[in-house]
Structure 1
Amino acid sequence: MPVTFKVAKHSAEPVHPQSLDKVQDAKDLLTRARLSPRGRCIEVFQGSVCPEALPSMEYCGNGFVHAAMRAHGGHHNLVIRPDDVWIAILNQFSFYVNAHAEELRGQFVEHGGKKTVRVVAEGNRYMVDFGEMTRQMAEQLRENVVDKTLTEWILPDFTTTTTADTTICSALMIR
Protein backbone atom coordinates (compact mmCIF):
# COMPACT_ATOMS: atom_id res chain seq x y z
CA MET A 1 0.00 0.00 0.00
CA PRO A 2 1.53 3.34 -1.00
CA VAL A 3 2.34 5.92 1.62
CA THR A 4 1.92 9.55 0.59
CA PHE A 5 2.93 12.54 2.64
CA LYS A 6 3.35 16.25 2.02
CA VAL A 7 6.76 17.72 2.71
CA ALA A 8 5.72 21.33 2.09
CA LYS A 9 2.67 23.54 2.39
CA HIS A 10 2.75 24.48 -1.30
CA SER A 11 1.68 22.26 -4.19
CA ALA A 12 4.16 20.27 -6.25
CA GLU A 13 5.40 21.80 -9.49
CA PRO A 14 5.32 19.86 -12.78
CA VAL A 15 8.59 18.79 -14.38
CA HIS A 16 9.14 20.65 -17.64
CA PRO A 17 10.68 18.29 -20.23
CA GLN A 18 12.60 21.13 -21.88
CA SER A 19 14.65 21.51 -18.67
CA LEU A 20 15.93 17.94 -18.92
CA ASP A 21 19.21 16.87 -20.51
CA LYS A 22 17.25 14.46 -22.67
CA VAL A 23 18.41 11.01 -23.67
CA GLN A 24 17.83 10.37 -27.38
CA ASP A 25 17.83 6.56 -27.30
CA ALA A 26 19.37 3.55 -25.51
CA LYS A 27 22.63 4.01 -27.44
CA ASP A 28 22.87 7.62 -26.25
CA LEU A 29 22.24 6.51 -22.66
CA LEU A 30 25.03 3.91 -22.80
CA THR A 31 27.45 6.36 -24.39
CA ARG A 32 26.77 9.00 -21.75
CA ALA A 33 27.16 6.47 -18.96
CA ARG A 34 30.47 5.40 -20.51
CA LEU A 35 29.42 1.77 -20.15
CA SER A 36 30.61 0.96 -23.63
CA PRO A 37 34.29 0.76 -24.65
CA ARG A 38 35.87 4.21 -24.94
CA GLY A 39 32.50 5.82 -24.28
CA ARG A 40 31.13 4.71 -27.65
CA CYS A 41 28.29 2.34 -28.25
CA ILE A 42 28.22 0.76 -31.69
CA GLU A 43 25.01 -1.22 -31.44
CA VAL A 44 22.32 -1.96 -28.87
CA PHE A 45 20.87 -5.44 -29.21
CA GLN A 46 18.03 -5.01 -26.74
CA GLY A 47 16.95 -2.57 -24.10
CA SER A 48 14.31 -2.05 -21.49
CA VAL A 49 13.68 1.61 -22.28
CA CYS A 50 10.50 2.08 -24.27
CA PRO A 51 10.55 4.96 -26.78
CA GLU A 52 7.59 6.63 -25.05
CA ALA A 53 9.68 7.07 -21.88
CA LEU A 54 12.58 8.84 -23.62
CA PRO A 55 11.11 12.38 -23.51
CA SER A 56 11.02 12.23 -19.71
CA MET A 57 14.45 10.64 -19.24
CA GLU A 58 17.79 12.25 -18.61
CA TYR A 59 21.19 10.82 -17.82
CA CYS A 60 23.07 11.63 -14.65
CA GLY A 61 25.83 9.83 -12.77
CA ASN A 62 23.70 8.89 -9.78
CA GLY A 63 20.11 8.71 -10.92
CA PHE A 64 18.52 7.87 -7.58
CA VAL A 65 20.21 10.64 -5.58
CA HIS A 66 19.93 13.12 -8.46
CA ALA A 67 16.19 12.44 -8.81
CA ALA A 68 15.62 13.05 -5.09
CA MET A 69 17.66 16.26 -5.12
CA ARG A 70 15.99 17.54 -8.28
CA ALA A 71 12.52 16.74 -6.95
CA HIS A 72 13.26 18.55 -3.71
CA GLY A 73 14.93 21.54 -5.36
CA GLY A 74 12.25 21.88 -8.02
CA HIS A 75 9.30 21.19 -5.70
CA HIS A 76 8.28 18.11 -7.73
CA ASN A 77 6.47 14.97 -6.65
CA LEU A 78 8.70 11.92 -6.28
CA VAL A 79 7.62 8.29 -6.24
CA ILE A 80 10.09 5.93 -4.59
CA ARG A 81 9.31 2.24 -4.60
CA PRO A 82 11.01 -0.21 -2.21
CA ASP A 83 12.52 -1.80 -5.34
CA ASP A 84 14.27 1.47 -6.22
CA VAL A 85 15.90 1.65 -2.80
CA TRP A 86 16.82 -2.05 -2.91
CA ILE A 87 18.43 -1.71 -6.36
CA ALA A 88 20.50 1.25 -5.11
CA ILE A 89 21.68 -0.76 -2.08
CA LEU A 90 22.34 -3.91 -4.10
CA ASN A 91 24.32 -1.96 -6.69
CA GLN A 92 26.70 -0.67 -4.00
CA PHE A 93 26.89 -4.13 -2.41
CA SER A 94 27.85 -5.57 -5.80
CA PHE A 95 30.62 -2.97 -6.19
CA TYR A 96 31.95 -3.92 -2.75
CA VAL A 97 31.87 -7.67 -3.37
CA ASN A 98 33.61 -7.28 -6.74
CA ALA A 99 36.30 -5.05 -5.21
CA HIS A 100 36.94 -7.64 -2.47
CA ALA A 101 36.23 -10.81 -4.46
CA GLU A 102 39.15 -12.91 -3.26
CA GLU A 103 38.84 -12.10 0.43
CA LEU A 104 35.05 -12.72 0.34
CA ARG A 105 35.18 -15.81 -1.89
CA GLY A 106 34.73 -18.28 0.99
CA GLN A 107 31.58 -16.47 2.13
CA PHE A 108 29.91 -17.07 -1.22
CA VAL A 109 31.38 -20.12 -2.99
CA GLU A 110 33.39 -23.22 -2.08
CA HIS A 111 35.23 -23.59 -5.40
CA GLY A 112 38.34 -21.67 -6.40
CA GLY A 113 38.54 -19.57 -9.55
CA LYS A 114 35.64 -19.00 -11.87
CA LYS A 115 33.00 -21.53 -12.79
CA THR A 116 31.24 -21.66 -16.14
CA VAL A 117 27.47 -21.28 -16.01
CA ARG A 118 25.54 -22.42 -19.04
CA VAL A 119 22.14 -21.22 -20.14
CA VAL A 120 20.44 -22.25 -23.34
CA ALA A 121 18.17 -19.99 -25.35
CA GLU A 122 16.91 -19.94 -28.89
CA GLY A 123 17.34 -17.06 -31.29
CA ASN A 124 20.12 -14.81 -32.43
CA ARG A 125 21.57 -11.79 -30.65
CA TYR A 126 18.65 -9.64 -31.79
CA MET A 127 15.88 -12.06 -30.87
CA VAL A 128 17.05 -13.86 -27.73
CA ASP A 129 15.61 -12.60 -24.43
CA PHE A 130 18.71 -11.41 -22.55
CA GLY A 131 16.58 -10.58 -19.50
CA GLU A 132 15.36 -14.16 -19.27
CA MET A 133 18.91 -15.44 -19.74
CA THR A 134 20.09 -13.18 -16.90
CA ARG A 135 17.38 -14.51 -14.60
CA GLN A 136 18.36 -18.09 -15.55
CA MET A 137 22.01 -17.36 -14.70
CA ALA A 138 20.96 -16.00 -11.32
CA GLU A 139 18.94 -19.16 -10.71
CA GLN A 140 21.97 -21.30 -11.58
CA LEU A 141 24.06 -19.23 -9.20
CA ARG A 142 21.86 -20.56 -6.39
CA GLU A 143 23.26 -24.05 -7.05
CA ASN A 144 26.86 -22.84 -6.70
CA VAL A 145 26.76 -20.64 -3.60
CA VAL A 146 27.42 -21.63 0.00
CA ASP A 147 24.16 -20.12 1.26
CA LYS A 148 21.31 -21.43 -0.90
CA THR A 149 19.02 -18.64 0.38
CA LEU A 150 21.30 -15.91 -1.01
CA THR A 151 19.31 -15.63 -4.22
CA GLU A 152 16.04 -15.27 -2.31
CA TRP A 153 17.64 -12.61 -0.13
CA ILE A 154 19.03 -10.63 -3.07
CA LEU A 155 16.14 -10.76 -5.53
CA PRO A 156 13.34 -8.32 -4.66
CA ASP A 157 9.88 -9.62 -3.88
CA PHE A 158 7.92 -6.53 -2.91
CA THR A 159 4.32 -6.00 -3.99
CA THR A 160 5.71 -3.39 -6.40
CA THR A 161 8.40 -5.65 -7.91
CA THR A 162 8.33 -6.00 -11.69
CA THR A 163 10.12 -8.43 -13.99
CA ALA A 164 12.48 -5.58 -14.88
CA ASP A 165 13.39 -5.16 -11.19
CA THR A 166 14.13 -8.88 -10.86
CA THR A 167 16.23 -8.79 -14.03
CA ILE A 168 18.24 -5.79 -12.80
CA CYS A 169 18.94 -7.45 -9.46
CA SER A 170 19.83 -10.72 -11.20
CA ALA A 171 22.36 -8.84 -13.34
CA LEU A 172 23.81 -7.14 -10.27
CA MET A 173 24.08 -10.51 -8.54
CA ILE A 174 25.99 -12.21 -11.36
CA ARG A 175 28.30 -9.38 -12.44
Structure 2
Amino acid sequence: MNSTISATLQKSTQVVGPNVAKTLELLEHENVKEYFANVNKNKVIHAISVDYPETGDNPKTKIVGGYSHGFVAAIHQAYNHHQHLCLKPDDVWLTIAQGVSHHINLNAEKFRSYFVEHEGKQEIEIFAGDVLNYVNNILEGDWPEAIHRLENKTSEKIKKVDISKILECDFSTSTMAAKTASHVILLDALKNYFSYKISTLCGIPKVTLEGSLEDWTRIQEKVVKLRNLGLDMDFWLDRLEPVIWRLVDTYRGEIDEQFWGKVFSTTKIYGSGGGTYWTGWITAFFPYDKSDAKITHNKIDIYYIPDGRVHVPFSTDLGLNLNFVAGFLGARQELVTNEDDTEVYVSSLIGWFVVDQDKDEKND
Protein backbone atom coordinates (compact mmCIF):
# COMPACT_ATOMS: atom_id res chain seq x y z
CA MET A 1 0.00 0.00 0.00
CA ASN A 2 1.43 3.36 -1.03
CA SER A 3 1.84 5.99 1.65
CA THR A 4 3.89 9.13 2.04
CA ILE A 5 4.65 11.31 5.05
CA SER A 6 6.58 14.38 3.94
CA ALA A 7 8.83 16.13 6.43
CA THR A 8 9.76 18.98 4.08
CA LEU A 9 6.30 19.68 2.66
CA GLN A 10 4.58 18.88 5.99
CA LYS A 11 1.85 16.62 4.71
CA SER A 12 0.84 12.98 4.72
CA THR A 13 -0.55 11.32 1.58
CA GLN A 14 -2.11 7.89 2.06
CA VAL A 15 -3.90 5.40 -0.16
CA VAL A 16 -7.19 4.89 1.68
CA GLY A 17 -9.15 3.18 -1.10
CA PRO A 18 -6.77 0.95 -3.10
CA ASN A 19 -9.65 -0.59 -5.04
CA VAL A 20 -11.29 2.73 -5.93
CA ALA A 21 -10.72 3.63 -9.58
CA LYS A 22 -9.63 7.25 -9.93
CA THR A 23 -11.35 9.63 -12.35
CA LEU A 24 -10.05 12.82 -13.97
CA GLU A 25 -13.38 14.57 -14.54
CA LEU A 26 -13.12 18.32 -13.99
CA LEU A 27 -16.36 20.15 -13.31
CA GLU A 28 -17.05 23.69 -14.42
CA HIS A 29 -15.61 26.28 -12.03
CA GLU A 30 -16.60 29.88 -11.45
CA ASN A 31 -15.19 33.06 -9.96
CA VAL A 32 -15.97 33.29 -6.24
CA LYS A 33 -16.40 37.07 -6.20
CA GLU A 34 -18.71 37.01 -9.22
CA TYR A 35 -20.73 34.17 -7.69
CA PHE A 36 -21.34 35.96 -4.38
CA ALA A 37 -21.97 39.25 -6.17
CA ASN A 38 -24.74 37.47 -8.09
CA VAL A 39 -26.12 35.82 -4.93
CA ASN A 40 -26.14 39.19 -3.14
CA LYS A 41 -27.82 41.18 -5.89
CA ASN A 42 -28.35 44.89 -5.18
CA LYS A 43 -25.80 44.68 -2.36
CA VAL A 44 -22.21 45.88 -2.27
CA ILE A 45 -19.50 43.34 -1.44
CA HIS A 46 -16.95 45.52 0.30
CA ALA A 47 -14.21 42.90 0.58
CA ILE A 48 -13.63 39.23 -0.18
CA SER A 49 -10.69 36.91 0.41
CA VAL A 50 -10.13 33.21 -0.22
CA ASP A 51 -7.18 30.97 0.53
CA TYR A 52 -6.68 30.27 -3.19
CA PRO A 53 -6.21 33.74 -4.75
CA GLU A 54 -8.07 34.27 -8.01
CA THR A 55 -5.58 35.77 -10.46
CA GLY A 56 -5.44 36.30 -14.20
CA ASP A 57 -3.96 32.82 -14.62
CA ASN A 58 -6.45 31.28 -12.20
CA PRO A 59 -9.64 33.37 -12.28
CA LYS A 60 -12.08 30.62 -11.32
CA THR A 61 -11.59 28.55 -8.17
CA LYS A 62 -15.07 27.42 -7.08
CA ILE A 63 -16.96 24.41 -8.46
CA VAL A 64 -20.22 25.52 -10.06
CA GLY A 65 -23.28 24.41 -8.09
CA GLY A 66 -23.08 21.74 -5.43
CA TYR A 67 -23.54 22.08 -1.70
CA SER A 68 -23.15 25.50 -0.11
CA HIS A 69 -20.87 24.04 2.59
CA GLY A 70 -17.45 23.84 0.93
CA PHE A 71 -16.13 21.19 3.33
CA VAL A 72 -19.08 18.96 2.49
CA ALA A 73 -18.84 19.79 -1.22
CA ALA A 74 -15.15 18.83 -1.38
CA ILE A 75 -15.60 15.49 0.39
CA HIS A 76 -18.77 14.70 -1.57
CA GLN A 77 -17.01 15.40 -4.88
CA ALA A 78 -13.94 13.33 -3.98
CA TYR A 79 -16.02 10.45 -2.63
CA ASN A 80 -18.65 10.24 -5.36
CA HIS A 81 -16.23 10.86 -8.24
CA HIS A 82 -13.24 8.89 -6.94
CA GLN A 83 -10.82 11.81 -6.70
CA HIS A 84 -7.92 12.73 -4.44
CA LEU A 85 -9.14 14.59 -1.34
CA CYS A 86 -6.95 17.28 0.23
CA LEU A 87 -7.76 18.26 3.82
CA LYS A 88 -6.15 20.99 5.88
CA PRO A 89 -6.40 21.22 9.66
CA ASP A 90 -8.19 24.51 8.99
CA ASP A 91 -10.97 22.72 7.06
CA VAL A 92 -11.66 20.39 9.95
CA TRP A 93 -11.26 22.94 12.74
CA LEU A 94 -13.27 25.70 11.05
CA THR A 95 -16.18 23.28 10.66
CA ILE A 96 -15.92 22.34 14.34
CA ALA A 97 -15.64 25.99 15.39
CA GLN A 98 -18.81 26.80 13.46
CA GLY A 99 -20.56 23.97 15.29
CA VAL A 100 -19.40 25.39 18.64
CA SER A 101 -20.71 28.82 17.63
CA HIS A 102 -24.03 27.30 16.57
CA HIS A 103 -24.34 25.53 19.92
CA ILE A 104 -23.54 28.65 21.97
CA ASN A 105 -26.01 30.77 20.00
CA LEU A 106 -28.81 28.25 20.51
CA ASN A 107 -28.10 28.27 24.26
CA ALA A 108 -27.01 31.90 24.67
CA GLU A 109 -28.79 32.62 27.95
CA LYS A 110 -27.82 29.30 29.47
CA PHE A 111 -24.14 30.03 28.92
CA ARG A 112 -24.21 33.82 29.41
CA SER A 113 -22.48 33.59 32.80
CA TYR A 114 -19.67 31.53 31.24
CA PHE A 115 -18.66 34.43 29.03
CA VAL A 116 -19.96 37.76 30.32
CA GLU A 117 -21.32 39.41 33.44
CA HIS A 118 -23.67 41.88 31.74
CA GLU A 119 -27.26 41.47 30.57
CA GLY A 120 -28.39 42.16 27.04
CA LYS A 121 -25.82 43.25 24.47
CA GLN A 122 -22.77 45.41 25.04
CA GLU A 123 -21.44 47.36 22.07
CA ILE A 124 -17.84 46.75 21.09
CA GLU A 125 -16.39 49.50 18.93
CA ILE A 126 -12.97 49.66 17.34
CA PHE A 127 -11.29 52.36 15.29
CA ALA A 128 -10.13 51.28 11.84
CA GLY A 129 -9.85 54.58 10.03
CA ASP A 130 -6.15 53.95 9.51
CA VAL A 131 -6.74 50.67 7.66
CA LEU A 132 -10.15 51.14 5.97
CA ASN A 133 -11.25 53.78 3.49
CA TYR A 134 -14.72 54.55 2.15
CA VAL A 135 -14.27 55.14 -1.58
CA ASN A 136 -17.01 55.13 -4.24
CA ASN A 137 -19.52 53.51 -1.86
CA ILE A 138 -17.08 50.71 -0.98
CA LEU A 139 -15.46 50.35 2.43
CA GLU A 140 -12.08 48.93 1.41
CA GLY A 141 -8.68 48.32 2.97
CA ASP A 142 -7.07 45.92 5.42
CA TRP A 143 -10.14 44.03 6.60
CA PRO A 144 -8.15 41.21 8.27
CA GLU A 145 -6.54 43.82 10.54
CA ALA A 146 -9.91 45.44 11.31
CA ILE A 147 -11.45 42.06 12.12
CA HIS A 148 -8.42 41.13 14.24
CA ARG A 149 -8.85 44.31 16.29
CA LEU A 150 -12.53 43.57 16.80
CA GLU A 151 -11.74 39.98 17.80
CA ASN A 152 -9.03 41.14 20.22
CA LYS A 153 -11.30 43.64 21.92
CA THR A 154 -14.08 41.05 22.17
CA SER A 155 -11.67 38.52 23.68
CA GLU A 156 -10.68 41.06 26.33
CA LYS A 157 -14.33 41.24 27.41
CA ILE A 158 -14.54 37.49 28.04
CA LYS A 159 -13.65 37.08 31.70
CA LYS A 160 -14.24 33.44 32.57
CA VAL A 161 -13.70 31.23 29.51
CA ASP A 162 -10.78 31.69 27.12
CA ILE A 163 -12.51 30.46 24.01
CA SER A 164 -10.82 32.72 21.45
CA LYS A 165 -7.57 30.73 21.26
CA ILE A 166 -9.45 27.45 21.08
CA LEU A 167 -11.59 28.54 18.13
CA GLU A 168 -8.72 30.15 16.23
CA CYS A 169 -7.16 28.50 13.18
CA ASP A 170 -3.53 28.52 14.36
CA PHE A 171 -1.99 25.69 12.36
CA SER A 172 1.06 25.60 10.11
CA THR A 173 -1.35 25.59 7.15
CA SER A 174 -3.45 28.54 8.32
CA THR A 175 -3.67 31.27 5.70
CA MET A 176 -4.69 34.80 6.52
CA ALA A 177 -8.12 33.98 5.05
CA ALA A 178 -8.50 30.99 7.39
CA LYS A 179 -7.32 32.90 10.46
CA THR A 180 -9.63 35.81 9.67
CA ALA A 181 -12.55 33.44 9.10
CA SER A 182 -11.92 31.83 12.50
CA HIS A 183 -11.85 35.29 14.13
CA VAL A 184 -15.26 36.05 12.61
CA ILE A 185 -16.57 32.74 13.97
CA LEU A 186 -15.61 33.89 17.49
CA LEU A 187 -17.59 37.08 16.88
CA ASP A 188 -20.49 34.92 15.69
CA ALA A 189 -20.33 32.74 18.82
CA LEU A 190 -20.68 35.80 21.05
CA LYS A 191 -23.08 37.94 19.03
CA ASN A 192 -25.90 37.38 21.53
CA TYR A 193 -23.77 39.17 24.15
CA PHE A 194 -22.20 41.88 22.00
CA SER A 195 -22.99 44.14 19.06
CA TYR A 196 -20.11 45.19 16.86
CA LYS A 197 -19.22 48.54 15.41
CA ILE A 198 -16.30 49.69 13.29
CA SER A 199 -15.50 53.35 13.29
CA THR A 200 -13.62 54.53 10.25
CA LEU A 201 -14.41 57.23 10.19
CA CYS A 202 -18.43 7.26 -3.66
CA GLY A 203 -15.07 6.60 -2.42
CA ILE A 204 -11.84 8.51 -1.98
CA PRO A 205 -8.71 6.96 -3.54
CA LYS A 206 -6.19 9.18 -1.74
CA VAL A 207 -6.23 11.83 0.95
CA THR A 208 -3.55 14.41 1.72
CA LEU A 209 -3.63 15.74 5.27
CA GLU A 210 -1.74 18.99 4.99
CA GLY A 211 0.27 20.49 7.82
CA SER A 212 2.31 18.76 10.51
CA LEU A 213 1.35 15.86 12.77
CA GLU A 214 1.45 18.41 15.61
CA ASP A 215 -1.32 20.38 13.86
CA TRP A 216 -3.59 17.36 13.78
CA THR A 217 -2.87 16.29 17.35
CA ARG A 218 -3.60 19.88 18.37
CA ILE A 219 -7.12 19.40 17.04
CA GLN A 220 -7.39 16.43 19.40
CA GLU A 221 -6.25 18.63 22.27
CA LYS A 222 -8.66 21.41 21.29
CA VAL A 223 -11.59 18.99 21.25
CA VAL A 224 -10.66 17.87 24.77
CA LYS A 225 -10.54 21.53 25.86
CA LEU A 226 -13.97 22.10 24.34
CA ARG A 227 -15.32 19.20 26.40
CA ASN A 228 -13.74 20.66 29.54
CA LEU A 229 -15.45 24.03 29.03
CA GLY A 230 -18.65 22.57 30.44
CA LEU A 231 -20.85 23.85 27.60
CA ASP A 232 -22.96 20.66 27.44
CA MET A 233 -21.57 19.57 24.08
CA ASP A 234 -20.97 15.90 24.91
CA PHE A 235 -23.93 14.93 22.71
CA TRP A 236 -21.86 16.20 19.78
CA LEU A 237 -18.27 15.63 20.91
CA ASP A 238 -18.97 11.96 21.59
CA ARG A 239 -19.59 11.58 17.85
CA LEU A 240 -16.82 13.94 16.76
CA GLU A 241 -13.89 12.79 18.88
CA PRO A 242 -13.46 9.31 17.31
CA VAL A 243 -13.39 10.87 13.83
CA ILE A 244 -10.57 13.25 14.80
CA TRP A 245 -8.61 10.33 16.26
CA ARG A 246 -8.97 8.41 12.98
CA LEU A 247 -7.71 11.42 10.99
CA VAL A 248 -4.61 11.54 13.19
CA ASP A 249 -4.14 7.79 12.68
CA THR A 250 -4.38 8.32 8.92
CA TYR A 251 -1.70 11.01 9.04
CA ARG A 252 0.58 8.51 10.77
CA GLY A 253 -0.07 6.00 8.01
CA GLU A 254 -2.39 3.80 10.08
CA ILE A 255 -5.08 3.32 7.45
CA ASP A 256 -8.57 2.07 8.24
CA GLU A 257 -10.12 1.45 4.82
CA GLN A 258 -13.49 0.73 6.40
CA PHE A 259 -13.47 4.18 8.04
CA TRP A 260 -12.66 5.94 4.76
CA GLY A 261 -15.29 3.86 2.99
CA LYS A 262 -17.94 5.21 5.36
CA VAL A 263 -17.50 8.95 4.90
CA PHE A 264 -21.18 9.08 4.04
CA SER A 265 -23.89 7.13 2.30
CA THR A 266 -27.20 8.35 0.92
CA THR A 267 -30.48 6.89 2.16
CA LYS A 268 -33.91 7.71 0.76
CA ILE A 269 -36.96 7.24 2.97
CA TYR A 270 -40.35 7.30 1.27
CA GLY A 271 -43.76 8.08 2.69
CA SER A 272 -44.70 10.27 5.65
CA GLY A 273 -41.63 11.82 7.28
CA GLY A 274 -39.46 10.63 4.42
CA GLY A 275 -36.58 12.36 2.75
CA THR A 276 -33.03 11.94 1.54
CA TYR A 277 -30.45 11.53 4.29
CA TRP A 278 -26.73 11.22 4.68
CA THR A 279 -25.22 8.90 7.22
CA GLY A 280 -21.53 8.44 7.92
CA TRP A 281 -18.79 10.23 9.80
CA ILE A 282 -18.96 13.49 7.84
CA THR A 283 -22.11 14.27 9.86
CA ALA A 284 -20.07 14.11 13.08
CA PHE A 285 -18.70 17.58 12.32
CA PHE A 286 -22.10 19.16 12.90
CA PRO A 287 -23.95 19.43 16.23
CA TYR A 288 -27.08 20.80 14.58
CA ASP A 289 -28.61 20.87 11.13
CA LYS A 290 -29.74 23.97 9.25
CA SER A 291 -33.06 24.00 11.12
CA ASP A 292 -31.24 24.03 14.50
CA ALA A 293 -32.29 20.43 15.20
CA LYS A 294 -29.72 18.28 17.00
CA ILE A 295 -28.07 15.68 14.79
CA THR A 296 -28.26 12.20 16.27
CA HIS A 297 -26.99 8.83 15.09
CA ASN A 298 -24.83 10.54 12.42
CA LYS A 299 -27.85 11.16 10.19
CA ILE A 300 -28.72 14.42 8.44
CA ASP A 301 -31.27 15.45 5.82
CA ILE A 302 -29.24 16.59 2.81
CA TYR A 303 -31.44 19.68 2.47
CA TYR A 304 -30.58 20.72 6.02
CA ILE A 305 -26.77 20.64 5.82
CA PRO A 306 -25.40 23.75 7.61
CA ASP A 307 -24.52 26.64 5.35
CA GLY A 308 -20.79 26.67 6.09
CA ARG A 309 -20.70 30.42 6.58
CA VAL A 310 -21.45 32.59 9.61
CA HIS A 311 -22.97 36.07 9.40
CA VAL A 312 -22.03 38.71 11.96
CA PRO A 313 -23.78 42.11 11.76
CA PHE A 314 -22.04 45.37 12.66
CA SER A 315 -22.52 49.06 12.08
CA THR A 316 -20.17 51.91 11.20
CA ASP A 317 -20.10 55.57 12.04
CA LEU A 318 -20.77 56.22 8.35
CA GLY A 319 -24.30 54.90 8.71
CA LEU A 320 -23.48 51.61 6.99
CA ASN A 321 -25.01 48.45 8.39
CA LEU A 322 -22.83 45.57 7.23
CA ASN A 323 -22.27 41.86 7.74
CA PHE A 324 -19.06 39.91 8.12
CA VAL A 325 -19.55 36.60 6.28
CA ALA A 326 -16.85 33.99 6.84
CA GLY A 327 -16.18 30.30 6.58
CA PHE A 328 -16.36 28.05 3.54
CA LEU A 329 -17.00 29.81 0.23
CA GLY A 330 -16.98 26.62 -1.80
CA ALA A 331 -14.76 23.78 -2.96
CA ARG A 332 -12.16 23.64 -5.73
CA GLN A 333 -10.45 21.15 -8.01
CA GLU A 334 -6.91 21.17 -9.39
CA LEU A 335 -5.46 18.87 -12.07
CA VAL A 336 -2.08 17.74 -10.72
CA THR A 337 0.52 15.79 -12.69
CA ASN A 338 3.28 14.11 -10.72
CA GLU A 339 6.18 12.05 -12.06
CA ASP A 340 4.08 9.06 -13.10
CA ASP A 341 0.47 9.99 -12.40
CA THR A 342 -2.21 12.61 -13.01
CA GLU A 343 -4.92 13.24 -10.45
CA VAL A 344 -7.66 15.69 -9.61
CA TYR A 345 -7.12 17.19 -6.16
CA VAL A 346 -10.23 18.46 -4.36
CA SER A 347 -10.11 20.86 -1.42
CA SER A 348 -12.27 23.33 0.49
CA LEU A 349 -12.20 27.05 -0.19
CA ILE A 350 -11.99 29.12 3.02
CA GLY A 351 -12.59 32.84 2.95
CA TRP A 352 -14.71 35.76 4.04
CA PHE A 353 -16.40 38.87 2.72
CA VAL A 354 -18.08 42.02 3.95
CA VAL A 355 -21.52 42.81 2.53
CA ASP A 356 -24.46 45.14 3.11
CA GLN A 357 -27.14 43.88 5.45
CA ASP A 358 -30.61 43.16 4.13
CA LYS A 359 -32.80 46.25 4.30
CA ASP A 360 -35.08 44.62 6.87
CA GLU A 361 -32.20 43.16 8.92
CA LYS A 362 -31.75 44.53 12.42
CA ASN A 363 -28.27 45.27 13.76
CA ASP A 364 -28.94 44.44 17.41
Return the TM-score normalized by structure 1: 0.82
Greater mean alpha carbon deviation, residues 115-124 or residues 78-87: 115-124
Query: CA offsets per residue over residues 12-64 of structure 1, 9 Å max, x none?
Result: 43341xx23x43442523654xxx5xxx3522111114433552313522221
Over 3 Å counting, the alpha-carbon distance change for 1:76 and 1:88 in structure 2 is same
* One of 184, 196, 199 as aligned partner of 1:171: 184
Q: Which residue of 2 aligns with 1:105?
A: 112
Q: Which moved more, 1:43-52 or 1:82-91?
A: 43-52
- Within 2, Cα distance between the matches of 1:15 and 1:139? 44
Shift of 1:121: 1.3
What is the 5 A alignment of 1:37-116?
Answer: 40-49=41-50, 50-52=53-55, 54-58=59-63, 59=65, 60-116=67-123
TM-aligned CA distance change 1:145 to 1:24, over 3 Å: same
Alpha-carbon spacing, 1:103–1:112, altered in 2? closer, same or farther (3 Å)? same
Q: 1:96 to 1:152 in 2, by over 3 A?
A: same
Aligned residues of 2:94 and 2:182 also touching (Cα < 8 A) = yes
Answering whether residue 163 of structure 2 is matched by residue 150 of structure 1, we say: yes
CA distance, structure 2, for counterparts of residue 41 and residue 82 of structure 1: 36
CA distance in 1: counterparts of 2:127 and 2:139, whole angstroms: 15
Structure ranking higher in helix proportion: 1
What are the Cα deviations for residues 123-172 of structure 1, in whole angstroms up to 9, with x where unaligned? 22433322221111111112111236322122121111122111001101
* Residue matched to 1:3: 12
Structure 1 CA distance for aligned equivalents of residues 38 and 112 of structure 2: 33
Report the counterpart of residue 152 of structure 2 in structure 1: 139
Choose between structure 1 and 2 for higher RCO, CA contacts under 8 A separated by at least 6 residues.
2
- SS class of match (1:126): strand
Task: Kindly report structure 1 stretches of 4+ aligned residues shifted beyond 4 Å.
Answer: none
Tell me the amino acid that sits aligned with residue 99 of structure 1.
Answer: L
Is the partner of 1:3 in helix, strand or coil? strand
Residue 14 (1) aligns with residue 15 (2): no
Q: What CA distance in whole angstroms lies between the structure 1 residues aligned with 2:38 and 2:111?
A: 32
1:94–1:120 CA distance, 2 compared to 1 (3 A): same
* In structure 1, C-alpha distance between the alignment counterparts of 2:160 and 2:167, rounded to whole Å: 12
CA distance 1:90–1:5, shift in 2 (3 Å): same
Q: 1:169, 1:30 → 2: CA distance?
A: 22
Tell me, yes or no, if the aligned pair for 2:101 and 2:186 is still in contact at 8 Å. Answer: yes
- From the superposition, tell whether residues 130 and 147 of structure 1 become closer, same or farther in structure 2 (CA, over 3 Å): same
- How much is the aligned-residue C-alpha RMSD, in angstroms? 2.2
Contact kept, 8 Å, 2:114 with 2:161, in 1: the verdict is no
Instruction: Name which one, 1 or 2, has greater alpha-carbon Rg.
Output: 2
Superposed displacement of residue 80, structure 1: 0.4
Contact residue 83 and residue 156 of structure 1 kept, 8 A = yes
Unpaired runs of 5+ residues, structure 2, are: 1-9, 189-364
CA, structure 1 residues 114+27, in 2 after alignment: closer, same or farther (shift >3 Å)? farther
